[in-house]
Amino acid sequence: MKQIVKLDRLPDNNPLEGLIQLQTAWRDYDVAMFMGSQYKHICKTIFALQIITAFLIVIGSTLPDSYDMEGILTHAVFGASLFFTLLVSLEGIFNPKARWRQFRSASSNLKSIIWLYRTRSGHFEMDDSQKNPSRPEDR
C-alpha cells in the first residue's frame, strides 16, 4: 500500500548542493528584508518630516503680522519652505516607497520559492517516473 500511495513527497535526505542553495536563498531573503526595512524607515521618516514642515509653514503663514518681529517669522517660513522642497527632492531621488515595495515583493517571492523547494511541490515536484534525482536542485 505504501508503494501505491505515496503521501510523503519529501526526500529522505537533501543533497549537499540543495542545502547550499537553500542557505544562499535564505541569506538573499534576509538581505532583501533588511534592505526593504531600511527603505521603509527612510520613507516613513521623510513623510513625517514633510508633514511637520508643512504644518509649520501653514502655522507661520497664518500668524498675524504682529508676531513677526523684524522679519524673523518671514525668514523662518521661507527656510521651512526650502527645507520642504529639499525633502520632496530627496524623496524623488531615493524613491524609497517604490524600492521598499520592490524589496518586499521580491523577498516574498523568494520565500515562496524556498518553501516550494522544501515541500517539493510546484516546479520542484519529484515523480518516481523521473530518473534524475537532482531535478529539484537543477530547477
pTM of the model: 0.74
Each domain of the chain, given as residue ranges in start order, spans 17-126
- HEC states along the chain? CCCCCCCCCCCCCCCHHHHHHHHHHHHHHHHHHHHHHHHHHHHHHHHHHHHHHHHHHHHHHHCCHHHCCCCHHHHHHHHHHHHHHHHHHHHHHHCHHHHHHHHHHHHHHHHHHHHHHHCCCHHHCCCCCCCCCCHHHHC
Amino acid at 124: F
**Average pLDDT, stretch 67-96?**
91
- Residue 111: pLDDT over 80: yes
Mean predicted lDDT score pLDDT of the chain: 85
- Residue 12: pLDDT over 70: no
- Residue 130: pLDDT over 60: no
